[in-house]
Homo-oligomer: A and B are copies of this chain.
Amino acid sequence: MQIRQQLRSFANKVSVTRKGKERLIVNKMTSEFNREQLESVLKRRFFFAPAFDIYGGISGLYDYGPPGCAVQANVVDTWRKHFVLEEDMLEVDTTMLTPYEVLKTSGHVDKFADWMCRDLKSGEIFRADHLVEEVLEARLKGDKQARGITENPEEEAEKKKKKKNRKKKVKEIKAIKLDDQTVSEYEMIVAKIDGYSGEELGEFMEKYNICNPATGDPLDKPQQFNLMFETHIGPSGQIKGFLRPETAQGQFLNFEKLLDFNNEKMPFASAAIGKSFRNEISPRSGLLRVREFLMAEIEHYVDPDDKSHPKFHTVKDMTLDFLPRDLQEKGQTEPVKMTIGEAVSKKIVDNQTLGYFLGRIYLFLMKIGISPKKFRFRQHMANEMAHYAQDCWDGELLTSYGWIECVGCADRSAYDLTVHSRKTGEKLCVRETLAEPKIVEEFDCEIEKKKFGPKFRRDAPKVEKWLLSRSQVELEELAQELSSNGKIVARIPDTTVEEVEIPADFVKIKKMKKTVHVREYIPNVIEPSFGIGRIIYCLYEHSFWTRPEDSARAVLSFPPLVAPTKVLLVPLSNNATLQSTVKDVKEQLKAAKIPFKVDDSSASIGKRYARNDELGTPFGITIDFDSVKDNSVTLRERDSTKQVRGSLKEIIKAINEITYDSKSWDEGVKNLTPFESQTE
């Protein structure tokens, strides 16, 4: 309850303008959102810092200090309880080092790449899409200047703010008028910049004469740059490997063991929390685009013929903001509000399982303190989906950088299990005993086992296994090959020859009637995938405000569950009389397992609280001279600065209920006495 109220109060800070372009506006309660101030608080309080700072830093790498690390641990813990424990998911911890072969099969070696172009003279490297966007935007701006059009100052300020953290490539705007045709071409390209191929970007660069903005030197054609970090495993340097770009592959490769662990029951999900890596070409946007990041991923395996979900009813009446593909294709950016039930029944969201996870994702984000008004689900356009995805909804959060993809919920269909199964010859499928046997006509493969050994020698088991693991479609093709060529010629992985020749008398492939007792299928995968670091950065923005009476007093209003520390213990003074009470309170808080910090510095109480408002500490306990007499203490709430008085036991009970049982402040302290403070 209390969390919801907090969220609502934050929601007030945002207004939605027409065409869905949200922006932060001044609110009576708080001053305007100021990214520099937030970043200064986050760095000063060591939520994070550039990694290797004293060595000058490496862009895209950040360290989390104590409060950032604690927020991360609390978010991960909440995630684990909300998903893994609640749904009985099978959590695994798989390695980050991944051999070439696995990522070649999964498609990442060929397709997990961005386009970059190199200045042939200086060697400087640009990310092609970012460069094209920036150069064309600068020319459009120059055109406006030349035409004497002044931009809406508010929009202008907004744009400037958004770009403050980018390293600008284009330093100077030249007031040169463009012809109207060019203007509209530029505008079109900038609007669709995320969807172009390297070839297309190269064409634009040639057509519009895009060079190194600093020097005017020509650039090479866009080249694909694979975003995986490469390394070598073992001393011989022969095992090429990568740092994983996602945790998913490690989960897929263990599919058989997981299914077995789950007593062959379907559907089920595996989950993994761990670091993944992306060698970004030129990371910017601070914590939002980093080279090493924490992910939490779920792979939910489901029968492709039945994607219903037994708990769908628990989410179906939730109303969410959806921005489906067809709306975007029409140029619309305003999401549609509807219930998940409606979205599924209208096939906007493909199935119940996908819908169920959209609902659960939303609930999780609300639990950790994300603003509901700054959240939407946007469906991927056909050209922006990852190579493995059949459909994908992004959970996007609104920040001062714009809408940021923080959670993906993709339908990976049977893609990954199929390609790994094909490559390794291991069957990665579910065997379901049919209620009644069925008679079917199917291709069947009979092999003359005796002949294999003498002919294929060491390769014999691999050739056998390969033949016996072909799908129906493949068997049909092989049958045709046999009848027309009198043999099969095939590349079979890991054999000693490039091509294996299997004569017709070694194998018979025929359509036959069979009684089938078992249905075999490769499950589909629904994958909710969370970028924990991005979510945490958005949480910082959504939680940040300053006190109206003093804009230098910043507050991070984390829900107590997520706050790094729950309680700040503040002795009124360093007077010796208070010491034994302080010690007693510390011991009782420890026994109650409530994380706390003591601030016994000589600063004023107000100052001590202000410091901890910046750390997002939700509660303060003041120990004064009355505490020594009657064991009562004062409890302060961070956002309202309201205070109540009660016995330590009552206060601990209230803290526990508000923090871990989601009671609101008012509910939690309803039996305690309001306390007027002179301290703030």
- Residues of A at the B interface (CB closer than 8 Å) are 45-46, 49, 51-55, 58-59, 61-66, 68-70, 72-73, 80, 85, 88, 90-99, 101-102, 116, 123, 125, 225, 229-236, 239, 241, 243, 250, 253-254, 256-258, 260-261, 263, 275, 277, 279, 281-282, 291-292, 420, 423-424, 426, 428, 595, 597, 601
Q: Which of B46, B54, B72, B597 contacts A253 (CB 8 A)?
A: B54
**Cα distance, A118 to B546, chains bound together (Å):** 65
A-B contacts, 5 listed (Cβ < 8 Å): A58-B97, A68-B93, A96-B292, A97-B229, A229-B231
Residue of B nearest to A265 (CB): B601
Asked whether, in the complex, the Cβ of B54 is within 8 Å of the Cβ of A426, the reply is yes
Chain B contacts of A597 at CB under 8 A? 88
B-chain residues with CB within 8 Å of residue A230 when the two chains form the complex: 231-232
**Which residues in B have their C-beta under 8 angstroms from that of A254?**
49, 53, 63, 65
| Further 19 A-B residue pairs, CB within 8 A, beyond A64-B92, A95-B292, A96-B275 | A46-B257, A51-B253, A53-B253, A53-B254, A54-B256, A54-B420, A58-B239, A61-B95, A61-B97, A63-B94, A63-B250, A65-B90, A65-B257, A97-B291, A125-B236, A229-B231, A232-B279, A235-B279, A263-B601
Contact of A69 among B54, B91, B225, B292 (CB under 8 A): B91
Minimum CB distance partner of A601 in chain B? B263
| A70: chain B residues within 8 A (beta carbon) | 91
Those 6 A-B pairs whose CB atoms lie nearest each other, nearest first: A64-B93, A63-B94, A66-B90, A54-B426, A54-B424, A229-B231
Instruction: Give the residue name and chain of the B residue nearest to A250 (CB).
Output: B63
- State A45–B236 Cα separation when bound (angstroms): 34
Q: Contact at B97–A69, with CB atoms within 8 Å?
A: no
Copies of this chain assembled into the complex: 2
Bound Cα distance from A63 to B244, whole angstroms? 14
> With a CB–CB cut-off of 8 A, which chain B residues contact A229?
97, 231-233
Known contacts A235-B279, A239-B58, A93 near B116 by CB under 8 Å? no
A236 (CB) vs chain B CBs: closest residue:
B125
Contact yes or no, B65 A253, CB < 8 A? no
**A501–B379 CA distance with the chains assembled, in angstroms:** 63
Minimal Cβ-Cβ distance residue in B for A424: B54
Q: Tell me the minimal C-beta distance from A133 to chain B in angstroms.
A: 18
> Is B253 in contact with A55, judged by CB distance below 8 angstroms?
yes
Q: Please, how many angstroms separate the alpha-carbon atoms of A250 and B279 in the complex? A: 20
Residues of B contacting A85 with CB < 8 Å? 595
**Bound Cα distance A236, B119 (Å):** 11
Q: Are A258 and B65 in contact (CB under 8 A)?
A: yes
Determine the distance from Cα of A97 to Cα of B234 in the docked complex, in whole angstroms: 18
Q: A279–B61 contact, CB under 8 A?
A: no
Q: A292: which of B97, B125, B282, B428 is its contact (CB, 8 Å)?
A: B97
Q: B235 touching A95 by the CB < 8 A rule?
A: no
Alpha-carbon distance A54/B422, docked complex (angstroms): 11
Also in contact, A46 and B261, with CB within 8 A (given A102-B52, A123-B236, A279-B233) = yes
CA distance A601 to B116 in the complex (A): 56
- Set B46, B92, B231: member contacting A243, Cβ < 8 A: B231
Q: A46-B257, A90-B66, A93-B72 are in contact. Are A101 and B292 (CB under 8 A)?
A: no
Q: Is the interface of A mostly helix, strand, loop or mixed?
A: mixed
Question: In the assembly, what is the distance between CA of A90 and CA of B96, in Å?
Answer: 26
Q: A540 to B548, alpha carbons, bound, how many Å?
A: 58
* Complex-state Cα separation, A275 to B51, whole angstroms: 16
- Residues on B with C-beta less than 8 A from A257 are 46, 49, 53, 65
Contact (A66, B92) CB under 8 Å given A97-B292, A234-B279, A257-B46: yes
With A and B bound together, what is the CA distance between A61 and B233 in angstroms? 10
- Report Cα–Cα, A94/B275, bound state, in Å: 11
Asked whether, in the complex, the Cβ of A58 is within 8 Å of the Cβ of B279, the reply is no
Pair A58/B99 contact, Cβ less than 8 Å: yes
Most buried by B among A65, A91, A95, A277: A95
Note all chain B residues with C-beta closer than 8 A to A250: 51, 63
Chain B residues near A239 (CB-CB < 8 A): 58
B235 x A281 contact (CB < 8 A): yes
Q: How far is the CB of A212 from chain B (nearest CB, A)?
A: 15
Asked whether A92 lies within 8 Å of B63 as measured between CB atoms, the reply is yes
What is the CB-to-nearest-CB distance from A496 to chain B, in angstroms, rounded to a whole number? Answer: 15
Q: Are A95 and B62 in contact (CB under 8 A)?
A: yes
Q: Distance (Å) between the CB of A198 and the closest chain B CB?
A: 14
Q: Which residue of B lies closest to A85 (CB)?
A: B595
Closest to A105 in B: B55
Pair A233/B125 contact, Cβ less than 8 Å: no
Chain B residues near A263: list those with CB within 8 A: 601
A94: chain B residues within 8 A (beta carbon): 51, 63-64
In the bound complex, CA of A55 to CA of B73 (Å): 33
Q: Which residues of the partner chain B approach A232 to less than 8 Å between Cβ atoms?
A: 229-230, 279
- With the chains together, A241 CA to B61 CA distance in Å? 12
- Chain B residues with CB under 8 A of A97: 58, 61, 229, 277, 291-292
A595's nearest neighbour on chain B, judged by CB, is B85
A125 CA / B97 CA spacing, docked (Å)? 21
A157 to chain B, nearest CB (A): 33
The CB with the most chain B CB atoms within 10 A, among A88, A231, A243, is that of A231
Contact B55 A69 (CB under 8 A): no
Chain B residues whose C-beta falls within 8 Å of the C-beta of A68 in the assembled complex: 93
Residues of chain B lying within 8 A (CB to CB) of residue A292: 95-97
The docked-state distance in angstroms from the alpha carbon of A198 to that of B629 is 71
CA distance A428 to B55 in the complex (A): 13
Q: In the bound complex, what is the Cα–Cα distance between A369 and B116 (angstroms)?
A: 53
Partner of A65, one of B62, B92, B233, B241: B92
Closest to A425 in B: B54
Complex Cα gap A254–B96 (Å):
25
Bound Cα distance from A279 to B237, whole angstroms? 11
Bound-state Cα–Cα, A71 to B517, Å: 39
In the complex, the answer to whether B58 meets A125 with C-beta atoms within 8 Å is no
CB neighbours (8 Å) of A46 from chain B are 257-258, 260-261
Q: Establish whether residues A93 and B63, one from each chain, have CB atoms under 8 Å apart when the complex forms.
A: yes
Closest to A91 in B: B69
User: Separation in Å of the A600 CB from the closest CB of chain B?
Assistant: 10
- Asked if A92 and B69 make an inter-chain contact with CB atoms under 8 angstroms apart, the answer reads yes
